[in-house]
Structure 1
Amino acid sequence: MSFERPWLAQYPERVPAQIDVDEFPSVVAVLESAIENYRDRPAFANLGKTLTYAEIDQLSAQFAAYLLGELKLKKGDRVAIMMPNCLQYPIATFGVLRAGLTVVNTNPMYTARELRHQLVDSGASVIFVLDNFAHTVQEVIGDTQVKQVITTGLGDMLGFPKGSIVNFVLKYIKKMVPEYDLPGAIRFRDALALGQRHTLPTVDIEPNDIAFLQYTGGTTGVAKGAMLTHRNMVANMQQAAAWVGTNVRMGEEVIITALPLYHIFALTANGLVFMKFGGLNHMITNPRDMKAFVKELKSVRFTAITGVNTLFNGLLNTPGFDEVDFSGLHLTLGGGMAVQRSVAERWKQVTGSTLVEAYGLTESAPAACINPMDLVDYNGAIGLPIPSTDACVKDENGNAMPQGEVGELCLRGPQIMKGYWKRPEETAAAIDADGWLHTGDMARMDEKGFFYIVDRKKDMILVSGFNVYPNEVEDVIAMMPGVLEVAAVGVPDDKSGEAVKVVIVKKDPSLTAEQVKAHARENLTGYKHPRYVEFRTELPKTNVGKILRRELRDAPATH
């Protein structure tokens, strides 16, 4: 049976149907090419300090030499990096990769339980951690295979005297560095100095070597490590670069990196794609401090920004954001969760840039579908499958569904992970015999090949046998001017099996549940109406700002 690809006809000019996966054999080869082409250009900036590609080259080589020469790590060994966005992150990550080792990206906000699981499961032998989070490492290290801890202060790469001041303020004034005791730990700067004593050997890195163990699925029980190979990462970088790069000025782009680089979205879209372009990643360490974030945006003439819906919504609701200089901004990419129409429309109004929605998963490194970059207005779709990517919608029995029908979105392409680390059964459940990754997202495709996510399979609410998709309910409620944020979940109900509940953070303190219900009645069919309306001061979120519907579902229903 021939496979139809209606989306190819919608591709913007100059975007190829296929990419060259073999142009770079590894992520390291991409870095080396960027260093050669853009040596003296700025590569990463944070807290007022900028490192050039040449400096990243030198420092990451020192770190790689330390790992191989001093710690005697062997090819394929795992190194955990527990860092927010700071200059140490790219140095360490590229150092680990250049040494032929695997990066285990670790969320610094992890609890001891989560960290223990990830370190034990990955078998990491080294962890590199920011001082602020070292107390969590202290709590679990005895249960793990970690042989060496490397620590650093946020100010360590900022130079004197600024670095010392930053470290002093964080520890003694803001009290953000809890005491810890990790005997045998080494400071990052000392590790770099030791690395200088060794020559970095030539390391043979194969395309199928694992570059990143990227943990995912914490919402469905235990987190699993997606094995993302050098080939997976290079493929996705090539795909995304071909898609977004049609109006890029090589060596001149400045991208705002507010999502953490340890998260797959920023890692590939910002870290790798913009490195290929010779761009500057302007890293925001704490995007939750919206006032400071907006102040920083005012000091940078940026050309691109990536984010999730909650980040864009937060910026739009922060005083002073409308005074930022958007004259250079030509790329706004939203992913990680559904972008709401109300947010996309306001973003366009304030910045003049279309918020282009993309879709991906950790398991696909992550990009799979992106809207055309020449999109004039928000269209509610996750876009078209990107070059060298196939997508289809399947029913419960794995049969392809006709256009317009809702089923599970399935993906195939060179960016799809090798599998889950040490979990063959789970890998077989996720990737079928024909190589299709089953995403767990319910979607439909229109006649032009645009895909629309209706919701997560597991978030779907079943009211009297009717499917209610939380995204749709949230979109409608978010249109109300008095609503800052909203989440819709299903709660058990004796009559209808489940009922719809919305949890709202108010923008207008006088907003009432009755007003919300009245608005829903005007815009939604009966079974989709929220039966319960709850107001909270904030919604539970993941580290990148995805709303945790699961936590809201588990809370008792209130009227």
Structure 2
Amino acid sequence: MTPEAVDLLREHSLPRAWRRRWRDRAGAVALEVIGEEARRGLTRGDLDARSAALAAGLNRRGVGRADRVLLALPPGWPLLLAHVAVLRLGAVAVPADPALTRRELGHVLAQVEPSLAVVGDEHAGDVAAAGPRTPILEADAVAELSAEPAADIVLDQADGSDLAAIVFTSGTTATPRGAMLTHANLLAGAEVVRLAWRLGENDGLVLALPWFHVHGLGLGVNGSLLAGARLLVLPRFDAAAALDACERADATVFFGVPTMYARLAEVMRASPRRAAAAASLRLMVSGSAPLSVALWETVRALCGQEVLERYGMTETMITVSNPHDGERRPGSIGLPLPGIETRLIGDADGDGDAGQGELLVRGPTVFAGYWRRPEDRRAVVDAQGWMHTGDVVRRDPDGYLRVCGRRRELIITGGHNVHPREVEEVLELHPGVAEAGVAGRPSPEWGEEVIAHIVPADPASPPSSRELDEWCRDRLAPYKRPRTFVVTERLPRNRMGKLQRSRLR
């Protein structure tokens, strides 16, 4: 099927598509939070009415079209209502990790200058301190506003070219970049998932991913709502609880990252019942980091599932995937998805399509640019619309693609992106550290793990690993903190003084 044969934008925008589905089967459950015994599931009708009421409430608080709204809540119905309400209003969602430190949160607030921050009660103080001019709406107020009678307000009017979300690609670095995703990008990203993986109204997605990445939010949440599938949400990942959720009769699909599959494998080894729960699903999907062949084979041996691995970026949503119907090849990211074009460009091959080279993608999922950094988009998207991913890929003779490595220095650990320089800057603030060099080291559990090489300010009295870990604990999100500290006399540098990061791994 050629890209031109698939129209990923035929429904114009997600809010319009969602509204049609909600009003078709208003009583069908859209979301259930696993473990919330006292709360019934949120139906499609609930989601329609309550998101409209919340959108009206946000509007009364000064949020209008194109205004940014920070969303820093754990997965669950308040975040779902807020996300949907912002999109329906025509405002711009800015999802953020609720575990960000005050310093990290301050970077995000300074970049996007939101008109409102929707946060958990426990983080309101952090937002107030990091962005004192930012109005705050706490989770309890989300519930109250969404329960009010819907006001007379015009919703679902955003065009495909309108900005819908700003998603930060590598946390909050010293120079963070927010990827701007339009309504067309979000719709195409959700529609391609629906088509490729056959998501439909009989599906129930067990979702334990965070919702501040496009994996959990763009594919999991948006894709399920578009397909009419039920979201079975775990606010945080626990392998045993996830497998118990898979045991439900309405559970059919699981999305995860390689680290999750490593944990699931441990539990399945100890529990045949839970292995059988995984085996009962029709589909398990892995993304955000490479899934090792060994782990893929382990999961298959334990529960019979051939995990479907796929590829995507914040800037492009999902673009390549192993097929739903056909060979799911371990170690491969699969084939280009419907509506998406790909090509490989070798270093010495400026125009031709190489058998191995940097992966380029083109299609309606490619982002609009980086927030307030237009020159950065021009550096990665060429005049013909090809996004240069920075990933080196090899094509098998039958078209399957394999990621060989990354040209960029980004570390992907447990599905999270970590920029080495941000970690180095935090370490170099420690009075006992003269220099720091950070890199990713291969890990069978995490894909990569963060390792830090330290040049002590006083070689006779270097800071201990425990001291450095405690230093980072107050300044970095958990996934960014180094798992290993190595004290060294000097960092490897070339004659120009540039750090040779590859020698740190």
Decide: shared fold, TM above 0.5: yes
Instruction: Tell me whether 1:117 sits opposite 2:69 in the alignment.
Output: no
Alignment of 1:263-274 (within 5 A): 263-274=213-224
2:183 counterpart (227, 230, 233): 230
Alignment of 1:299-378 (within 5 A): 299=248, 301-318=250-267, 322-324=272-274, 325-326=277-278, 328-364=280-316, 366-378=317-329
Name the amino acid aligned to 1:315: L
Cα deviation for residue 328 of structure 1 reads 3.9
Residue 101 of structure 1 aligns with which residue? 91
Q: Distance in 1 between matches of 2:272 and 2:400?
A: 32
C-alpha contact (below 8 Å) 2:7/2:339 kept by paired residues: no
Residue 339 of structure 2 aligns with which residue? 388
C-alpha contact (below 8 Å) 1:217/1:224 kept by paired residues: yes
Q: Cα 1:348–1:99, aligned 2, differ >3 Å: closer, same or farther? A: same
Q: Alignment RMSD, CA only? A: 3.2
2:204 counterpart (254, 257, 264): 254
Q: Percent identity?
A: 25
Instruction: Tell me whether 1:55 sits opposite 2:46 in the alignment.
Output: yes
C-alpha contact (below 8 Å) 2:107/2:172 kept by paired residues: no
Cα deviation for residue 307 of structure 1 reads 0.6
Cα deviation for residue 376 of structure 1 reads 4.4
C-alpha contact (below 8 Å) 1:256/1:281 kept by paired residues: yes
Alignment of 1:148-547 (within 5 A): 148-152=135-139, 187-193=141-147, 195-196=148-149, 198-202=151-155, 204-218=157-171, 221-245=174-198, 248=199, 250-287=200-237, 289-299=238-248, 301-318=250-267, 322-324=272-274, 325-326=277-278, 328-364=280-316, 366-396=317-347, 399-400=350-351, 402-405=353-356, 407-459=357-409, 474=442, 478=444, 487=448
Q: Deviations over 1:156-191 (max 9, x none)?
A: xxxxxxxxxxxxxxxxxxxxxxxxxxxxxxx22333
Cα deviation for residue 217 of structure 1 reads 2.9
Secondary structure of the corresponding residue to residue 317 of structure 1: helix
Cα deviation for residue 339 of structure 1 reads 0.5
Residue 63 of structure 2 aligns with which residue? 73
Instruction: Tell me whether 1:35 sits opposite 2:25 in the alignment.
Output: no
Q: Cα 1:376–1:206, aligned 2, differ >3 Å: closer, same or farther? A: closer
Instruction: Mark the runs of 5 or more structure 1 residues left unpaired by the alignment.
Output: 1-7, 10-15, 154-186, 462-469, 479-483, 493-535
Cα deviation for residue 447 of structure 1 reads 2.5
Q: Distance in 2 between matches of 1:487 and 1:417?
A: 26
Q: Distance in 2 between matches of 1:303 and 1:53?
A: 19
Q: Distance in 2 between matches of 1:253 and 1:318?
A: 24
TM-score, L = length of structure 1: 0.71
C-alpha contact (below 8 Å) 1:38/1:278 kept by paired residues: no
Name the amino acid aligned to 1:211: A
Secondary structure of the corresponding residue to residue 52 of structure 2: helix
Q: Distance in 1 between matches of 2:106 and 2:43?
A: 35
Residue 496 of structure 2 aligns with which residue? none
Deviates more, 1:345-354 or 1:383-392: 345-354
Name the amino acid aligned to 1:354: E
Residue 131 of structure 1 aligns with which residue? 121
Q: Distance in 1 between matches of 2:449 and 2:88?
A: 45
Instruction: Mark the runs of 5 or more structure 2 residues left unpaired by the alignment.
Output: 412-438, 454-468, 489-503
Q: Distance in 2 between matches of 1:98 and 1:460?
A: 34
Secondary structure of the corresponding residue to residue 98 of structure 2: coil
Cα deviation for residue 66 of structure 1 reads 0.6
Q: Deviations over 1:18-75 (max 9, x none)?
A: 321332111101211220233211101103341111111111011001112x213221
Secondary structure of the corresponding residue to residue 392 of structure 2: strand
Q: Distance in 2 between matches of 1:403 and 1:341?
A: 25
C-alpha contact (below 8 Å) 1:355/1:378 kept by paired residues: no
Q: Cα 1:388–1:63, aligned 2, differ >3 Å: closer, same or farther? A: same
Residue 426 of structure 2 aligns with which residue? none
Instruction: Tell me whether 1:20 sits opposite 2:7 in the alignment.
Output: yes
Secondary structure of the corresponding residue to residue 363 of structure 1: coil
Q: Distance in 2 between matches of 1:488 and 1:257?
A: 24
Cα deviation for residue 389 of structure 1 reads 1.1
Name the amino acid aligned to 2:334: G
Q: Cα 1:295–1:21, aligned 2, differ >3 Å: closer, same or farther? A: closer
C-alpha contact (below 8 Å) 1:359/1:370 kept by paired residues: yes
Q: Cα 1:110–1:397, aligned 2, differ >3 Å: closer, same or farther? A: farther
Cα deviation for residue 349 of structure 1 reads 2.2
C-alpha contact (below 8 Å) 1:306/1:332 kept by paired residues: yes
Q: Distance in 2 between matches of 1:343 and 1:442?
A: 22
TM-score, L = length of structure 2: 0.78
What is the count of residue pairs matched by the alignment? 436
C-alpha contact (below 8 Å) 2:392/2:407 kept by paired residues: yes
Q: Distance in 2 between matches of 1:344 and 1:286?
A: 23
Q: Distance in 2 between matches of 1:197 and 1:326?
A: 41
Q: Distance in 1 between matches of 2:477 and 2:364?
A: 26
Q: Cα 1:237–1:132, aligned 2, differ >3 Å: closer, same or farther? A: same
C-alpha contact (below 8 Å) 2:258/2:447 kept by paired residues: no
Q: Distance in 1 between matches of 2:155 and 2:161?
A: 18
Secondary structure of the corresponding residue to residue 236 of structure 1: helix
Q: Deviations over 1:348-401 (max 9, x none)?
A: 22232210110000001x101001113445431111111121111223477145
Q: Cα 1:553–1:444, aligned 2, differ >3 Å: closer, same or farther? A: farther
Q: Cα 1:207–1:321, aligned 2, differ >3 Å: closer, same or farther? A: farther
C-alpha contact (below 8 Å) 1:19/1:239 kept by paired residues: no
Q: Cα 1:342–1:199, aligned 2, differ >3 Å: closer, same or farther? A: same
Name the amino acid aligned to 1:370: S
Q: Distance in 2 between matches of 1:349 and 1:374?
A: 20
